[in-house]
Each structure stands twice: as structure tokens, then as C-alpha cells.
Chain A
């Protein structure tokens, strides 16, 4: 077996064999000091290479696995320091083929901002969801959609709306009202009977099998009927798309307005909050519940009440109070490196279920903490999100065994940032599985490699105390939590789904 010095040297030289890479990886996992040592040697190695004089006579051997260098930075420094135009002009000429940074992109054109009693015939969507071009089939309820160009549209189910672009949609069935600010002037709604072009206004549209009617509440719209000349409709006027139809008085009361959706959303939020309160209280009676923070503590509180029987309260460090899923629901915002909630879960547990309602603002760190045992090793548990968006349950080995990471497929993409999500993970020693859930749906089912009991001990929400003194890993969460619960048993799919209702 090679010494650590030799393994590190082979890494630096780029000559590690696969077996040596595996060996070094294992040793690094089990020895934090070796990691620090490797990084120190790596940095010193890089600095020593940078001190190389520009011209050194002698044999040049390019190690097999070392990446080929186009030229050393010492060359760049010298060339540029001399303001040698030649090299820079070369860079200039290269501009055209320089690749730009790879940026995340989105195809979305609008966002669902509010919803009341929504039931969908198309894929279910919740407020906060960015919408890409496609068909929305609302079975019942009221949905408010904001187009990226600025137009706000309220649709009442049953309705069918096809999003075409950030400034255009087609309504084939149902009622909608639109508020089009000056910035969104030119917003178009197509119907089977013709097209409406908005000139900065508020209007209502009622499309049914027999006809389509436009009611203008404010400003002016253009009506483009098939095979007819354009008609202009002013404030207070209404007209059907049918041929030879006459002008009528607009009837605002037959359309859901933005004010109405505000009022109905508030009512719906309140009733959902009350329903949650009732369910939450029921959950507290479960003897397998080891921790339950509902985050409904006083806003000046710096400790979190644990509603589980005999559970210890949590301690808030840094995190500040904010609004949760509903206006009456409180939550903690984790923003800074220091923000966290400290808690403790005593004893060993054979099975485990953890669930959280959280809003992720972004994945700033390589690993972003949800719930993490303090330190690492000896069956501790780390529940976190990787920068790439995988949800990871990491379980440390015992007696020198390596740890195992149970990763879900990528779940957190930019479209999911800023929205409340329910996550759950189950450690099931009977089925020998780890299962990840998101918003009540099974996300991943992974074979359990080591079913030994877990030891959670002191842990943190939204951060990690790794207990190393000199170098402390930064894994804080950028986001908020408004409910956290932990059971020492396996919760079934129905129970997890019920938490998301």
C-alpha cells in the first residue's frame, strides 16, 4: 500500500492509477486531516510551478496524465507586462470565437401568481409556477397569470387557454379578464372567432361554443374578426364576434376581477391555514414523532417550540422571521453563513422519516443544508441539496466503513426557486430502501446499503456545524422553512401525501 505522500504526489503529478484514486478517495473520506494536507500540497505545488523561470534549459518530460498547457501564465504575465500588442491583438482576434458563459435558460413566458380552489384537467400547477407555451385546461377555480410582458389575466374555470408567447395567448373556451398596463400594449388574445389586440386597458372575454364577447372596462381594444375590417371598442362598450353584432354596454360584474381574486385568495389562504392548524395538532399526538417545529412561535422568540412529546425545543441562531406558506403562517429565513436552528434528537433510531416545508432561494453552495447532524461519522445523517439540484441523504458509516450518499434525480431547477416545496425522506430498513419525496410524490427509491441504526444527536436546520476547529465547511441554506418534522418510523406514501394537501 502506498504512503499518503506518494498518493498525493501522484495526484499532483497526474499519474494516479484508478486503484490509487480509489484508495486516496477512501482515505480522504475517513481522514479530514489528510484532506487539509492534500490541499496545502496542491496549493504549494501550484505556487512552485508559477515560480518557474521563463527559460529553463534541460530535458522536458510531459507527464502522461498532466493536461497540456498552451502556455504558462508566466508567459502571459511577461507578454502583457511588456504591453506586447501582438499577444493581445491575438486575443482580440479570438474574441469572435470565444465561448460565452453557459447560462441557465428558461422557456417560460408567464407565471401563475395566484389561484383559488384550482382544479386542472391539464397538469396540476400551483401559484409561483413559471409557465411555458402550451395549453392550460382549468377545470374549476380562478387563476391569475402574469405574462412576462406585463399583462395580467384572470381565468375562471372551466376554461382553456393556450399560452403562445409573453405577449399572446389563445382562449378557446371560458371566461377571462385582462389588465394590460401601457408596457404590455399590443397584448393579443386569439379566439376561434377572431383576435383582440389590447391598446393598454382592462377588458373581459367570454368564449363559448356559440359565440365570443368582448367587454371593455377601461381604455380601448381592437377587434379583428375573420373576413371583416378591424373594429375599435371603447371603455364601457361590449360586442360579440358574430357578424353584424351591435354595440352593447359592458358588464364588468360578470367577470372575475383582480380585486375579486385578491379577496378570494385571502379567504382561501385563511381556510388552508386553519386546516393546516387542525392537521398539525393531530400529528403531534403520534408517539413516533421525535421533533415537530411548526414555526408558529412568537416573532420575538429565539427558540422554537418542539411539539413532539418529550422533544427538546430548538434554538434559533441568526435566522430571522418571515412569512410562510400563507400570510398567517410564520417561517424562518436562512440567509447568512451563521443562520441556523440547533436541535437535538436523542438516542438511536432504526427507521427514520424527515419532512420539511421549505422555500429554496438558490443553491449557492456545493452542499446546501436542510437537516444535518453535527459533525460526521458513526451513523450520522446529512440531508441536503447539492448545487446541481439533487436532494441527498448522506449516511455516515460506522466502525471505519465509508459513508453512502442517497441522491434523488435533479429536483431543484431555477423554476422551483422561491416557491414553497414539501420534501420528505424515508430511511426504511425493512424494505431496505431510502425514498425521496417531493410535494407528496415519490421522487426516488434507492437500495439501502447499510441498514444499521442511525444516530442523529445534535443537529442543525439550514446549516452544519462540522466541529472542525480550523476549517469549517460552509453549507448554509439560502431559503426559508415553515415546518419541520421527524419520526423514528417509516411513514407511508399516503401519510406523506396527506401532509401536502
Chain B
């Protein structure tokens, strides 16, 4: 039953990714100013949205771990696994944002990169979560999870700054697609393609997030067994 449900979920996700691609390439029109290069937005913006959502998962996991680590060990381990999974999958999507953005920028602006507020804060966000993952990979000892949780909370503080950066400061980055000032936003003929891709990439993200969580939980079990054996020996 569970396997069937997972199979259906995977099929629906793949079908939506294909549908999103079709919408982005064949249904949405070319941008009047930018031409075809504008279509990068259909992968770039959904990736940024999903990255933000998963950094929020990491934030909740980190707070949950810190709140429950003393009294509820098992629950704390679950929170920690969610925090790690959220951070890692968030970094994957953030990497997509930081590679597709410059490809668009090279054609639209004539440069790969500029130290504009939106780009810089996004790079800082990526660096914070990369340091979080490196800490988890190379640090050892009982304090590692606590330190990682604190870093995860600090990292999440950058998310609203990234989101608001092109509202607070004058940036070279285009105006917000949703919730921007008057005159910003998208033509209605393009919104559908963006929303379909958002849904598809979100479902894909949830799939790999769940997989990463499961791998981490198993890792915790193996570590616990090995620790117990070492104590017994």
C-alpha cells in the first residue's frame, strides 16, 4: 500500500514536471523585451521558492531539536534529521538558483555576476548553509548537533533578507514577480507556466527531502548501534 502510494506520487511528480516544461516552452509566450531567455524564470523562480520553503523546514527542525534535546531524545533526533534534510535539499535548490541566474544575467545584462543586494544575499545564504553542511560532515562530538541547530537558525534569518532585498534596496535584479510594487509582476499568459513549475518542483523537492530524511534516520540508527557495541566492548 505504502509502496503504491509512493509510486503514484513519483508518477504524478514526473508528469507535472513534464507538464511544467511543456507550459514553459510551448504555452507561455516569449517576453517582448527579452525573447526566449526569459523562459529561464520558469525554473529559476520555483527553485528559489522551494529553497526558501526547505530552509524553513530546517529552521523548524533546528528549533525543535534545541527544544527537545534534553528530555525527548528520540524526538530530538527526528527534528535533527528534518533540519539536516531541509538544509541539504535547500542548498541543492539554491545552487540551481545561483547557476541559472548568472546564465540569464549573461544574456540580459551582459555579465555573469554583479554584487547587487539580491545576488549577494542569496550567495551569503548559500554559504551559510554550506558551512552548516560542512560542520555536520566534519565536526564530531555531542555538541555538533547543537552547534548545527544554532547555525541553522542563523542561516534562516537570511531568508527574509533575501526575499525583501529587491524591495528594500535598489537592485539590478528584476522586480519581484509576486507582491512587488505597482507595475511589477507578470503577464497573465505567463503566470500559469510559472505556477505549474512551482508545484512540480515543490513536489519533486518533497520527494528528495523525504528520501534524505529517511537516509539520515537510518544513519542515526546505525550510529546508535555502533555506539552501543563500542560501549559493550
Is B one of A's binding partners? no
